[in-house]
Structure 1
């Protein structure tokens, strides 16, 4: 049995899945494939999810996942993470959470803020020679948040990709968010970014989507003046990298790292949902 499902211990054990969070995740999970041969009983999905969260929070290697806590083996949790990511579980969970926030009118669509911090060294697909670290291979996390810092879209690219090239893909990645009468919403009113996104071509493309670009310009001597609004994305990035598995990309497979990135995005969004209670 999994130890520590009590609410009182949840703060010291952030990998424990609460009843409220599980009620959101469980309906989205795909049906397990039937076993063709007899063997060990299947590890319950909830316990496997706790094991995945343990790896996400602590950064521990899969083979060292402590089975005495009831998670199942590291390989079991690894397979579940890959299967659930392929089934789009984290994307659908993120939409569910955003819809709850929109229903409560807690999404700030007046502006969105974008940033692309460089991640630690990595190898494999979606990595590339970093221009700021002697061409060592690395990756980037691209993050787009609303005016309060609630993540709307995230993506992973190689460390050599210019920030501005991911502006339009990230803007297009914002999902349609239902929750109020009328069509789902997926576009903010304005988009804020630092000098890394300063390019006339992309300003024009952003305007074509009906979004007003508010981007710092190169050559300004006294700063962009956007810091009063841009700090929210830096805080969200700090939250993302508070998950130790995201500080350094250990996975050679990009889809598995993106799975961790999507799960962490859901957890941060869920924190905002919890504040509604």
Structure 2
């Protein structure tokens, strides 16, 4: 049996995505050519996300529509705030939040620890860029990520390369949604947040504690061997999973909102696939 392509959209995933997309009414007079099907266009967007191919090189024979069609639809859906609002049909929570709730209900999500880290994708220009002091002053952007103790992404953010990592744990912790899935109050904050020496600053440690989270961050100027590297490997693995999406390795998009759509989709797909794997094991 042939293994499905990673950009293939199965019925279950499409049942989640389709209700989110804005409806465009055709004109009664001069309706023009019928729009290419949303599902095929969405697969084209995922094809670009996975392969990193340029929009203009999107293979026509795959039926996704032209690269410009896929880009315009991505821009349209981004402007309609589809990605931040990703909702499940009939639910009031965000889709990513609902997905996290299902993972927590399956005892997969682990809030005992979280880890933060950042990466520097290559960049061709655009907003939310800056000269990175850690990369010989090259202009770039940063992806900032917080994951649970198993490496499931909880929130992702984009900043300029000149933004210090130490400023990001607070926005990332605020971006983590309230996660249900079990009886009792929803869970939003991890017990502990781990970080490398790039997050070493007592001011931000205090701010993290004010959120009810214990900061466990390596200090600059101390010898290596604190053991934090062996504890925070799961966030490195999450970035390795995001690197499977080749479009995230280099930022080609000038518009920051278009680029931010890709890591958001990537994080949702990582969680979706983890949930599907759990469901397969229990079926």
Q: TM-score, normalised by structure 1?
A: 0.92
> 5+ residue gaps in structure 2?
87-94
**Does the CA-based 8 Å contact 1:194-1:224 persist in structure 2?**
no
Shift of 1:221: 0.8
CA RMSD of aligned residues (A): 1.6
Indicate how the Cα distance of structure 1 residues 9 and 106 shifts in structure 2: closer, same or farther if over 3 A, else same.
closer
**Does the CA-based 8 Å contact 1:187-1:211 persist in structure 2?**
yes
Residue 55 (1) aligns with residue 56 (2): no
Shift of 1:71: 0.5
Q: Could you tell which deviates more after superposition, 152-161 or 183-192?
A: 183-192
Show the counterpart of 1:8.
2
Q: Deviations over 1:256-276 (max 9, x none)?
A: 000011111111111111122
**Does the CA-based 8 Å contact 1:240-1:265 persist in structure 2?**
yes
Aligned residues: 269
Secondary structure of the 2:193 match is: strand
Q: 1-side partners of 2:177 and 2:37: how far apart?
A: 30
Q: 2-side partners of 1:132 and 1:203: how far apart?
A: 22
Show the counterpart of 2:229.
227
**Does the CA-based 8 Å contact 1:121-1:136 persist in structure 2?**
no
Shift of 1:222: 2.6
Q: 2-side partners of 1:32 and 1:190: how far apart?
A: 45
Indicate how the Cα distance of structure 1 residues 100 and 50 shifts in structure 2: closer, same or farther if over 3 A, else same.
same
> 5+ residue gaps in structure 1?
1-6
Secondary structure of the 1:116 match is: strand
Secondary structure of the 2:128 match is: coil
Q: 2-side partners of 1:172 and 1:86: how far apart?
A: 23
Q: Which of the residues 29, 48, 72 maps onto 2:21?
A: 29
Q: 1-side partners of 2:47 and 2:203: how far apart?
A: 43
Q: TM-score, normalised by structure 2?
A: 0.90
Show the counterpart of 1:73.
66
Show the counterpart of 2:36.
43
**Does the CA-based 8 Å contact 1:110-1:147 persist in structure 2?**
yes
